[in-house]
């Protein structure tokens, strides 16, 4: 009886040891596969990190190239601005100098045209004290007057016709008023004290007139 019980315990112990061995054998391949998967994951992470580093390096190089290109364009624009500024300053100075010269010598051609008329006056004055022919002196003065009239026409100056016209405040300046018997002359210019003139279509000088009332 005792012997059977010992055999039974021994068989139970053997079965337990065999069960542990089987369990160990069953767990071995799974553990190996897990370790292999972990190793593969570790290798994949390393490759991915290298790829990211390469991409970041390429992006940084591209950014540096863009910055360098932008700096070159900026330097070119600054150089162009400096050149344009210098050219404009020279143009402004030249234009100002030309305007000053034009203002200073604007009447040059006008005075060149008047000088011959002054020469005629000098000749007339030099003969005034010695001549006895009044008609000749009169003709000489009339000749000078006609030259002045022609000079005015050439330069766009013409006389304002005021005598016997209605008084016009845009053309005339009344210096006196006189009573008139003829009603048709009331409000009209009856005498011109000082002639008025146009320069082209602009009133250069108002006519000083006497108005009837």
Distance (Å, whole) CA 31 – CA 34: 5
Computed over every residue of the chain, the mean pLDDT equals 80
Query: Does 102 reside within a domain?
Result: no
| Amino acid 26: pLDDT | 47
Of 140 and 48, the one with more pLDDT = 140
Say whether pLDDT at 31 is over 60. no
Distance (Å, whole) CA 171 – CA 188: 13
Query: Does 65 reside within a domain?
Result: no
Query: Does 45 reside within a domain?
Result: no
Query: Does one domain contain both 116 and 163?
Result: no
pLDDT in tens, 32-42: 454 554 455 45
Query: Does 3 reside within a domain?
Result: no
Q: What is the distance in angstroms between the CA of the first residue and the CA of the last residue of the chain?
A: 176
What letter does residue 206 receive in the DSSP assignment?
Answer: P
Distance (Å, whole) CA 158 – CA 200: 8
Domain range holding 193?
158-213
Looking at residue 177, which CATH number applies to its domain? 2.30.22.10
pLDDT in tens, 162-177: 999 999 999 999 999 9
Query: Does one domain contain both 189 and 201?
Result: yes
Query: Does one domain contain both 134 and 151?
Result: yes
Torsion, Cα of 32, 37, 43, 46 (10° steps):
-130
Q: Domain total for the chain?
A: 2
Query: Does one domain contain both 185 and 147?
Result: no
């Amino acid at each position: 009886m005792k012997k059977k019980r010992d055999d039974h315990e021994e068989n139970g112990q053997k079965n337990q040891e065999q069960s542990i061995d089987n369990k160990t054998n069953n767990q071995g391949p799974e553990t190996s596969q897990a370790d292999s998967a972990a190793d593969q994951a570790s290798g994949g992470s390393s490759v991915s990190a290298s790829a990211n580093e390469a991409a970041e390096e390429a992006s940084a190089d591209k950014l540096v190239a863009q910055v360098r290109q932008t700096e070159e364009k900026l330097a070119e624009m600054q150089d162009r601005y400096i050149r344009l500024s210098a050219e404009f300053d020279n143009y402004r100075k030249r234009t100002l100098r030309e305007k000053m010269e034009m203002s200073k010598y604007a009447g040059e051609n006008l005075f060149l045209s008047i000088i011959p008329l002054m020469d005629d006056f000098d000749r007339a004055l030099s003969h005034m004290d010695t001549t006895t022919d009044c008609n000749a002196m009169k003709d000489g003065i009339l000749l000078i007057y006609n030259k002045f009239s022609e000079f005015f026409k050439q330069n766009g100056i013409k006389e304002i016709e005021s005598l016997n016209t209605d008084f016009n405040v845009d053309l005339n300046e009344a210096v006196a008023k006189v009573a008139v018997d003829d009603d048709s002359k009331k409000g009209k210019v009856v005498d011109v004290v000082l002639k008025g003139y146009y320069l082209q279509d602009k009133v250069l000088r108002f006519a000083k007139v006497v108005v009837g009332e």
